[in-house]
Amino acid sequence: MFDYLLTMCYVFLLRICILLLILLLLLLLIDAGGSGSEIGHRVIVPAIHARGGRHVDRLLLSDPDLDHYGGMQDLLERLSVNTFLWTGARSRDSRFDMLLETLKRKNVRLERVSSETRDQMLGDVSLNYLHPHLLRSINLPGNSQSLVLKASYGNFSVLLTGDSDRLSESTLMYGPEAVNLSATLLKIPHHGSESSSQSTFIDRVSPKMAWVSAGRVNRFGHPRETVMARYERRGIQVIRTDQNGQL
């Protein structure tokens, strides 16, 4: 039987690193955040090596904020990467320009993804990009453009939401690209902030379990207890990196 592993690890303050190890050590790495220049080889690369990974097939950026891409520069100097997936949204930070230059120097293929992208397969896992739309999201505020991805394998599915906000959630539920959001596991949007996790959105996803990435005693107060209560009232098991560390 193939070995499928999904793990989320806390990387410094509010950094998220999700690894999906599939089949012959094909690896999809979603975000590699952190502001420290050494976070790649101190945290992310060892986490990949510990699971037998030596190469990243697809490196995906859900949001062009430093807490999502800060460790990628370091990572690219230490691991080979086939393809960089992103929405095309850019940051004004010069460090983001450096990342794009490194991707070019390392001959990494860049591929823009959106809700118009056809479902992709990684081994037996289906990758369905639900948000944002290529054109309709151009003038949306930053977090409303965050990438939302649903990965499915058999009867198991995980909804990965990045820093999605209420506008993103409403678009997914009621907009032109409204889709089936139900999933076994939900990565709680935007670290469990008040800007997301509407009750109607949680009900649409109806997960058995939810994960939230947040640093212990962080200055933002994430995850908000009022948000956690919405999940708990529905009997959804919530696992938190600020309490449990790597998941």
The residues pairing with 153 across neighbouring beta strands, listed in sequence order, are 156
The residues pairing with 148 across neighbouring beta strands, listed in sequence order, are 131
The pLDDT of residue 25 is 55
Q: Which residues contact 212 (CB under 8 A, 6 or more apart)?
A: 187, 188, 191, 192, 222, 223, 228, 238, 239, 240, 241
Of the candidates 155, 1, 151, 126, the one whose C-alpha atom is nearest the C-alpha of residue 62 is 151
The torsion angles phi and psi of 85, rounded to 5 degrees, stand at -105, 130
Strand order in the sheet with 5-11: 5-11, 15-22, 26-30, 55-60, 80-86, 109-112
Task: Give the sign of the dihedral formed by CA 159, CA 204, CA 232, CA 190.
Answer: positive
The pLDDT of residue 193 is 79
The pLDDT of residue 203 is 97
- What is the amino acid identity at position 2? F
In the structure encoding, which two tokens stand for residue 72, read together?
């990628």
Helices (H), the chain: 39, 45-50, 66-69, 72-76, 94-105, 166-174, 199-205, 225-233, 241-244
- Report the distance separating Cα 11 and Cα 24, nearest Å: 26
The residues pairing with 26 across neighbouring beta strands, listed in sequence order, are 22
Q: pTM, whole model, 2 decimals?
A: 0.84
The pLDDT of residue 31 is 85
- What is the amino acid identity at position 210? A
Question: Which residue is it, tokens 């939810």?
Answer: 210
The pLDDT of residue 2 is 41
The pLDDT of residue 13 is 42
Ramachandran region, residue 35 (left: φ > 0; alpha: ψ -120 to 50; beta: rest): alpha
The torsion angles phi and psi of 48, rounded to 5 degrees, stand at -70, -45
In the structure encoding, which two tokens stand for residue 115, read together?
């809700």
In the structure encoding, which two tokens stand for residue 112, read together?
């823009």
- Report the distance separating Cα 89 and Cα 162, nearest Å: 14
**pLDDT tens track, the chain, 247 positions:** 345 566 665 544 434 456 665 554 578 888 887 655 567 777 778 878 877 778 899 999 998 888 888 889 888 998 999 999 999 988 889 999 999 999 999 999 999 999 999 999 888 889 999 999 866 656 666 678 889 999 998 899 999 998 889 998 998 999 876 788 999 999 988 777 788 899 999 999 999 999 887 656 656 656 878 988 999 999 999 988 766 555 5
- Report the distance separating Cα 201 and Cα 110, nearest Å: 31
The pLDDT of residue 110 is 97
Number of Cβ within 10 Å of residue 175's Cβ equals 15
Count of residues in the chain:
247
